[in-house]
Amino acid sequence: KIAIFWFRRDLRLHDNAGLYYALRSGYPVVPLFIFDRNILDDLEEKTDARLTFIHKAVSEIRQALRQKEADIMVEYGFPEKIWENLVAGHDIAEVYTNTDYEPYATDRDKAIYRILKQKDIVFKTCKDQVIFEKQEILSGQGSPYTVFTPYSRAWKQKLNDFYLKSYPTKKYFRHFHQWHGSALPSLREMGFEKTDYDFPPADVDDTLLKNYAKERDFPAMEATSRIGVHLRFGTVSIRDLARQARAHSDTFLNELIWRDFYQQILSNFPHVGKGDAFRKAYDLIKWRYDKADFKKWCEGKTGYPLVDAGMRQLNAIGFMHNRVRMVTASFLSKHLLIDWRLGEAYFAQKLLDYDLAANNGGWQWAAGSGTDAAPYFRIFNPASQAEKFDPKMEYIKKWVPEFGTDEYPEPMVDHKEARERCLQAYKTALDKA
């Protein structure tokens, strides 16, 4: 009999909760990774850098396992079908994995649970991706927090060394099943092309953290960690990172708390992950579905240089600075009055660190429909944001080289008029509710 450990968005051998419990199960452990066609078939770009990232991470896991005479089973297909074959072909006692809180993953895991249960195979899911799950931080009344500040206070109060302890997986590596698997399916075999994008390193410099509070809002300074993609796919451990944050930067720790916050919002209020506004009244807003305007925003040709710089950064490298994400998202939903869901989907397609909970949280915050949002009548002015956060226009000049020449377009909307149009549309909708 064997135990299977199923890797998903936790692509590391070190400090991995589910893997640790699998290795201590008493059964020889066979690791598994599935290139999931339910997800892959929906990707629009055949050169999606995220696939290259995942492929590389899985290959590295395999290399490390092979040094221990162990291996990883790597499948390409539909998880339900794959699991049906696995239970038919192997004598499996237990299956371990780490909880994934997104709606697709939750439904998929329910289906796998049923397949395993028919054969009396135990399916154990572990907390690994967050410090605190949805039921762990609740208000005095036992309900989830919907405002960040009290949530973060309660989060910090609950935190102690126990929650940040690494799982010592290495001590138990001898419990991997000793075998030799077949080759990884190549990207090309799965219909994708390798990208030669330079991914950011999987560690954060202590000096960066020390300067983080004062520099993180200035996009030209590149003073943020870029660790998002590693958190997304689990190539770093959130516990390691939170320990480092606790030692060097409370502001950075706070950002990691935002991550937990939006994860618990998605778990406790699943409607946000299914296309609905967190505050339902905001679904009464009459959005403009102007394709030409949306295209200008996507391409970074709005005539507002900070917005354009952000969109071009996103299109070029799959990353956008947080301050600029707020400005571009606000510009789409408020200045252009275009449904934030279109922007959310565009970011989802482009961001290497795309994460449903954080992306949805960020978009609904910007559109005013989310948790903890500023009142809708507070509308970012993209020009003054640029003056304040890119005073020497370094970020703008880097991404919009033609800024200041005839080639650069006039602003596509007038700030004042757009602001009025937005206030009117929001007011009409919210008065109805």
The DSSP bridge partners found for residue 29 are 3, 176
- The only residue of 34, 231, 314, 396 in contact with ligand FAD, by rule CB under 6 A: 231
CA-CA distances (angstroms) from residue 365 to 273, 361, 368, 374?
A: 14, 6, 5, 8
Per the residue annotation, which of 6, 83, 155, 258 is the catalytic one?
A: 258
Active site residue 255: yes
Query: One-letter amino acid identity for 397?
Result: K
Q: Is 307 in the site for ligand FAD (CB under 6 A)?
A: no
Binder of ligand FAD out of 5, 83, 233, 258 (CB under 6 A) = 258
255 binds ligand FAD (CB under 6 A): yes
Instruction: Tell me which residues in 83-142 interact with ligand FAD (CB under 6 A).
Output: none
β-bridge partners, 98: 126
Which one-letter amino acid corresponds to residue 409?
Answer: P
In the β-sheet with 29-36, what is the strand arrangement from edge to edge? 73-77, 29-36, 2-7, 92-98, 122-126
N-to-C CA span, the chain: 59
Nearer to ligand FAD, 71 or 355 (CB): 355
Task: Using the rule CB under 6 A, give the single segment among 160-168, 294-302, 309-317, 345-353 that binds ligand FAD.
Answer: 345-353
What three-state secondary structure class fits 5? strand
Q: State how far the alpha carbon of 272 is from the alpha carbons of 9, 205, 265, 343, in Å.
A: 21, 34, 8, 15
User: 134 with 41: CB under 8 angstroms?
Assistant: no
Asked if 426 interacts with ligand FAD (CB under 6 A), we say no
| Among the residue ranges 59-67, 102-110, 256-264, 409-417, the one whose residues contact ligand FAD (CB under 6 A) | 256-264
| 29-36/2-7 β-pairing | parallel
| Residue from 306, 351, 379, 400 in contact with ligand FAD (CB under 6 A) | 351
Q: Is 256 one of the annotated binding-site residues? A: yes
Of 206 and 417, nearer to ligand FAD (C-beta) is 206
Q: Summarize as ranges the residues that interact with ligand FAD (CB under 6 A).
A: 216, 224-228, 231, 255-256, 258-259, 262, 322, 325-326, 329, 347, 351, 353-355, 358-359, 361-363, 366
Where is the binding site, in residues? 212, 252, 255-262, 353-355
Where is the binding site for FAD, in residues? 212, 252, 255-262, 353-355
Enzyme catalytic residues: 255, 258, 287, 322, 340, 363
